[in-house]
Structure 1
């Protein structure tokens, strides 16, 4: 067992952090600690500009803030409100955004007051492919300047009426301490410094991450002493821990049967947006998937309706495009791929594979992934496609998926609900695995680059929608990917827990734990 935060290798910087954290914890010990399990074997990183896994995003959401924020319990961009910026102005052409920062906001661990220099550093870092997994979302930015200690001006390369979403408390919009990030370097992801209602306390590998209350939080002292994230990847073990009151909250199985069974036991089950959009990406760099007829055959072999029925009516919505349901710019005019076993076999024969093919895929053992891929495996077998699955833990799956070792990548994600974000990350060739600006283009799709890039800078809303439609049609015809369904978030919650808000959605895929959240029991 290794306690990463206590490692002597982090030196004086970590010692100072832990001293500050310990003081806060000592002052807060009369308050309860909320215990959660997000279902993963460990956190990968707590660096907000690198955190893409579900198990990481929930932790990060309590540690960091953005210039603006989604109110707790909302995933609707229309509800964005001030966060670290108390107000802002935008030029008439939507190209120059000026943010006025709150005064007195303090970073965790004694790193001082938030200033404009921290915001400039953070957003430049978020835009740097070498330091951020969300760099493509900031390609729109031309300049980021500190006009004074509390004023930041951002100039865009082209107009973007929805720019606030990029600097919200989500992904690359999270603000880090410049001094801490520069001092801690590669260790920042294990010793994060933000301004959120909770501060990093301790990480015991594959056991627990502990956050402690930030009593200096600008919105007020948290009602909790802290949050304990327990690493319990096994569904049965996690269900047992919840049933025995060792957990106050736990990620549930996003299956209809689980939701119904758990609800009947009197447990509060929260099902909320956004749905993680499940997609099968066909890696066009791995033969024979470079052959269009083979990709068409695979699309014809997948019975999406059966997969959706398995997931369940309360938790799954069938996809109608490569852009998730409900996203601005999503277009369903092409319709879904038609399930047709005879056609799939015929296409394979036409492609020169009458006896079938063998493909390999690395698959996560997560409850929301492995069972679906087993269904896909069985469906493909009916047309002569043998899918050899290497089932691994989720962190290994994430890493291997970005090494081009899978012919088929099954991936689920939720992003800011705008077609540009989705198309840029998953279908622009600049985001292909191995490219300098790599994000999540597992298919190495390049067919819609022109439409995606023109839409990104198109100021006319109707023309932009038309370009997004064209991109989706091109991707559909090239069969870069097979959209499956949106899978909503499912969490079990003890009736002792009061979120402190109404939960309708959460872009970070976990019910937000805020300064108002509490649990009615003594501190552990």
Structure 2
């Protein structure tokens, strides 16, 4: 139980020479150290170009910056704003971009000014598959040049849907100190140098990462002096530490029961934020019986999405309106997703030659969250005459099996960079179909929107580009390549004494952004 006390002064009465006087007690110092609980057993890599798991991404977001950034508390590409670059311009064909850097920005640990050479080094590193996990996103970067110490020119070999998106404080967009990287070598993964608001003080394997305020941060000295990021992979153990007051904030669980339990304490606030993860039933349109669109539509009518949202809970989940996440630039809520209608499902099955219903075997992950949703879907579609025989397998094996086309239906949830091209390309372009040389995650073997997806990539008019993305979504929905099931948000919990310094609606680092404005309010 948390006890909140406020003591302005203590009055001590004493009698000296017949007089009475009062002595005020010293005021309490404001708390400036923040402790967070991570749903992870350890850190992986603090080299931001290899930070591809949730806990790593959260931490590197406090250490590094990019040429541009998402506004704090946002994962919306429309909020991208200056960071290291104070301004930029592009050629009319969007193939040449020039970025003008702020002067006087300092590296942590005394490594001096951030210059154009650091930017050139960082972006060349991030496009190198030997030195980055995100190199595939930067294949269009033809040349990266330092025009002078504070000007960088990027030339593309082809247009990309969101050049600024690739240069944000996310994934491959982080800028690192060339000198520190070369000096520290392998040690850079645990002892990195950035220009963000916090620098690494220590890493204790399996226990915590400790960071301290970067007093030379160009936006101003952080109000938080120290951040401890504790590794608590067990949900119950993390909750106990939070309840006991050992943590100021913790990574949550995407479960309504967890939300209800944690918010019984009126001093606790739950942050449910973007980017949303969209889960869909991907249907292989090339295999019987689903090569018949009537059967695909029947399955879509048989699924009760509002029922799944109720099962997940409205704080964590919401009903999807398209085949890409609602947090994506280019999303349309008017894609034409079919609504639950068992009668129409039965009629379509009968018309397709299945008057007595349909039985299908599907490989299903044993991961608890995924397994429970599939069991709900299994019960729902049975009411329309569809018997879904779930074949449960261990999660890692499931990943391997679905990438060999061993299941006619694949339940898959994912978030991508929130620009429509990424999701559309990976899940619905024929070049990404399973079995193709460039296979990614097109389990549906969908190809109906290839023309629109490709045209949008080279469209320089933003409004026309969005129209193409929206047209692609409508084509995919009408062909029932996939059935949208649930959108889920990432959740964290924090005490009401923590003020993030912004309205927390989104975070590409999948955790709270601790900025120079973050503070702990008076106890």
* TM-score tier after normalising by the smaller chain length: 0.7 to 0.9
Q: d(CA) in 1 for partners of 2:402 and 2:208?
A: 26
Alignment partner, residue 412 of structure 1: 414
> What is the match of residue 514 of structure 1?
515
State whether residues 433 and 445 of structure 2, in contact with CA within 8 Å, keep that contact through their aligned partners in structure 1: yes
Say if 1:499 and 1:271 are closer, same or farther in 2 by CA, change over 3 A: closer
SS of the aligned residue for 1:62 comes to helix
Which deviates the most, 290-299 or 461-470?
Answer: 290-299
Q: Structure 2 residue aligned with 1:386, among 379, 385, 389?
A: 389
**Do 2:280 and 2:486's aligned partners in 1 also have CA atoms closer than 8 Å?**
no
Kindly state the Cα deviation for residue 338 of structure 1 after the two structures are TM-superposed. Answer: 4.1
2:75 is matched with which residue?
75
Larger radius of gyration: 2
Residue equivalent to 1:358: 361
Measured in 1, the distance between the counterparts of 2:208 and 2:287 equals 42
Partner SS state of residue 169, structure 2: coil
Following TM superposition, by how much is the alpha carbon of 1:337 offset from its aligned partner in structure 2, in angstroms?
Answer: 3.3
Distance 1:449 1:92, change over 3 A: closer
Question: Deviation string for 1:12-67 (max 9, x for gaps)?
Answer: xxxxxxxxxxxxxxxxxx98442212434444544433444433321221121011
Aligned partners of 1:117 and 1:433: how far apart in 2?
A: 41
> Which residue number corresponds to residue 209 of structure 1?
209
Q: Secondary structure at the match of 2:223?
A: coil
Deviations 1:221-270 (A, max 9, x none): 33334322223333332222111011110123344454444334213324
CA distance in 2, matches of 1:117, 1:436: 36
The one-character-per-residue Cα deviations of 1:466-487 (angstroms, maximum 9, x if unpaired) are: 4223322332244443222332
Shift of 1:111: 5.3
Question: In the alignment, which residue of structure 2 is the partner of 1:453?
Answer: 454
Matches within 5 A, 1:193-204: 193-204=193-204
Q: CA deviation at 1:215?
A: 3.5
1:114, 1:509 → 2: CA distance?
26
1:404–1:442 Cα contact (<8 Å) kept: no
**455-464 or 435-444: which moved more?**
435-444
Measured at CA, do residues 36 and 104 of structure 1 come closer, stay the same or move farther in structure 2, by a change above 3 Å?
same
Superposition deviation, residue 421 in structure 1: 3.5
2:87 alignment counterpart: 87
Structure with the higher helix share, 1 or 2: 1
Measure the CA separation in 2 of the matches of 1:333 and 1:266: 38
Cα shift readout 1:399-419 (whole Å, capped 9, x = no counterpart): 869966984242132533x32
- CA drift of 1:492 comes to 1.4
| Cross-structure match for 2:234 | 234
CA contact (8 A) 2:250 2:492 kept: yes
Any idea what SS the aligned residue of 2:324 has? coil
CA-CA distance at 1:455 after TM superposition: 0.7
Q: Provide the TM-score with structure 2 as the length reference.
A: 0.77
2:55 aligned partner: 55
Is the 8 Å Cα contact of residues 143 and 155 (structure 1) preserved in structure 2? Answer: yes
Q: In 2 relative to 1, CA 97–247 (structure 1 residues): closer, same or farther, beyond 3 Å?
A: same
Does 2:164 match 1:164?
yes
| Contact 2:501/2:517 (<8 A) preserved | yes
Q: Is the 8 A contact 2:70 2:81 kept in 1?
A: yes
CA contact (8 A) 1:274 1:414 kept: no
1:318-329 matches, within 5 Å, as 318-325=319-326, 327-329=328-330
State the alpha-carbon separation in 2 of the partners of residues 180 and 411 from structure 1.
Answer: 38
Determine the C-alpha separation between the residues in 2 that align with 1:191 and 1:167. Answer: 23
1:286, distance to aligned residue in structure 2 (A):
11
Q: Which TM-score applies when normalising by structure 1?
A: 0.77
What secondary structure is seen at the aligned counterpart in 1 of 2:373?
helix
Q: Quote how far apart the aligned CAs of 1:277 are.
A: 2.9
RMSD over aligned CA atoms reads 4.1
- SS of residue matched to 1:356: strand
Confirm or deny: 8 A CA contact 1:361 1:405 kept in the other structure.
Answer: no
How many angstroms does 1:216 deviate by?
A: 3.8
Deviation string 1:418-445 (CA, Å, 9 cap, x unpaired) is 3223323443455567877776556564
SS in 2 for 1:320: coil
Q: Is the contact between residue 381 and residue 388 of structure 2 (CA under 8 Å) also seen in structure 1? A: yes
Report what 1:11 is aligned to. none
The 1-side partners of 2:372 and 2:187 are apart by 35
Q: In the aligned structure 1, how far is the partner of 2:250 from the partner of 2:366?
A: 23
CA contact (8 A) 1:451 1:468 kept: yes
Change in Cα spacing, 1:274 to 1:127, as seen in structure 2 (3 Å) is: same
Stretch deviating more after TM superposition (205-214 or 66-75): 205-214
What whole-Å deviation, never above 9, does each CA across 1:438-472 have from its counterpart, x for those lacking one? 76556564443332111111123454234223322
3-state secondary structure, aligned to 2:278: strand
Task: Answer yes or no: is the 8 Å Cα contact 1:129–1:436 preserved in 2.
Answer: no
Residue deviations 1:306-351 (CA, integer Å, cap 9, x gap): 1112233344331111122253322344422344557379389859
Deviation at 1:279, TM superposition (A): 1.7
Q: State the aligned residue count.
A: 487
Residue in structure 1 matched with residue 499 of structure 2 by the alignment: 498
- Residues 492 and 305 (structure 1), Cα distance of their counterparts in 2 relative to 1, 3 Å cut: same
Relative to structure 1, is the Cα distance of residues 99 and 275 closer, same or farther in structure 2, using a 3 angstrom cutoff? closer
CA separation of 1:211 and 1:80: change in aligned 2, threshold 3 A: same
Is 2:269 the partner of 1:277? Answer: no
